[in-house]
Chain A
Amino acid sequence: MDLNTESTKPIYIQIAEWIENEIIADRFQSDGKVHSQYQLADLFNINPATAAKGLTILVEEQILYKRRGLGMFVALEAKNMILEKRRNETLTRMARELVLEARRLSVSEEELIQLIKKCEEEQK
């Protein structure tokens, strides 16, 4: 499996996001075990310490929890927490970038809202 090594995003964040994606897609179930740092390292061809960092982030966010000697498990509310977080963080960030780009291109606020609505129509 490949990571985007050229990306501005640190690898460990990409690892954390990959696990989150797997949780959203129900490939890692609540209270189910997720990959260990070594499995992740093997899977993504990265240093195990980097993989561990990705896991640690998710433990800190309480998306994963640790069971001594057994490994990392998915928290009960993990999926909702991720969705909530993504809505808050990712969408806000993307909206901010969108507004910035619109201003650079002299697109008015109204035009921008029209554009979003149009995209919304297309996806239906």
Chain B
Amino acid sequence: MTVIDCQDLRKKYKRMAALDGITFQLKDQKITGLIGRNGAGKTTLLKILAGFIRKGSGDVLVFSSNPFNNLRVSGNSILVDDQMSFPDSLTLADILGMAPDFYKRWDTELANNLFKYFKLNPKQLHSRLSKGNKATFNMIFGLATRCELTMFDEPTNGMDEAVRSDFYRALLKDYIAHPRSIMISSHHLAEMEHLLEDILLIHKGKVVFHQSLEEVKEYAVALQGTTDLVEKLAAGKEILHTKQLDSQRNYVVIKKEEMPVIDGVTTQPVSVSDVCMYVTSDGKGGIDDVFK
């Protein structure tokens, strides 16, 4: 089943194109990482999918309908982000108490257990929570809705390291027990990589690739060795990143292909987050070039 279907989706803010022709499909029951630099359009995409904002042009279908002003999409999807707000007249306990009326698959037990585990105060107001506790509460809320499409936009912002790893573990365990489509955008790709099945990488409002994590791991290879040898080997290949290590040696990342083994050049795998970073960098150089 297809949960999300975007065809040439575009969205402009004033004159700035936030989404510039996004095309991808999301099959159900996968955990997908939505990765991209700041300003790549991740948040805009998620808000359109949640029906919060209107699409510009192109097509967007969530559960086969346009998500904007659609009750079925709203009832079966949730977007957890740091802008989630609840009335100031309701305590956290009130909010959790009302949620089952809205979300038919709400898991009260999970919500209560996580609430207790993270030692939140039921009498607190949502707006008075610290940044980290707010993120934690929003995460609990998002997980407990059990929505068929659950989206997290930078869910771990503000959480400390222990809570972050607890969050990833809770997400995985709940996903195993109740598989559903989950989309997470995060800057911390390395720490959540193990959870992901697919990666959707976007850059400047366009999809760079939509592949399985294992494919991304095999996407690139790094060559390291004496400059002349490395350059000879990399000639004619798609170079993603170069770095001069010292006067004689350099490090070049190229798109992976069959390569002869040459003495003096070592080949190394490139981590998923490095691949994403190199592919979305505008120049071939890095921060080092600024200081030349």
Residues of chain A having any CB pair with chain B under 8 Å: 3, 5, 8, 10-12, 38, 41-42, 45-50, 53, 104
A11 vs B176: C-alpha distance when bound (angstroms): 18
Sorted nearest first, the 5 A-B pairs with minimum C-beta distance are: A49-B197, A8-B269, A47-B197, A46-B194, A38-B176
Is chain B's binding surface mostly helix, strand, loop or mixed? helix
Partner of B31, one of A3, A45, A47: A47
Q: Is B213 an interface residue when CB atoms closer than 8 A count as contact?
A: yes
Tally chain B residues at the interface, Cβ within 8 Å.
Answer: 22
A104 to B172, CA, bound (A): 45
B30 touches which of A46, A49, A53, A104 (Cβ 8 Å): A49
A-B pair count, CB < 8 Å, reads 43
Besides A41-B176, A47-B196, 13 new A-B residue pairs in contact (Cβ under 8 A), listed by A number: A3-B194, A5-B194, A8-B269, A11-B214, A42-B172, A42-B173, A42-B176, A45-B172, A46-B194, A47-B197, A48-B176, A49-B197, A50-B194
- CB nearest to B214 among chain A residues: A10
Contact of A10 among B30, B31, B217 (CB under 8 A): B217
Give B196's nearest chain A residue, CB to CB. Answer: A47
**Chain B residue at minimum C-beta to C-beta distance from A5:** B194
Bound complex: CA of A5 vs CA of B213, how far in Å? 13
Interface centre among A38, A47, A104 (most CB of B within 10 A): A47
Measured CB to CB, the nearest residue on chain A to B175 is: A48
Are A11 and B194 touching (Cβ within 8 A)?
Answer: yes
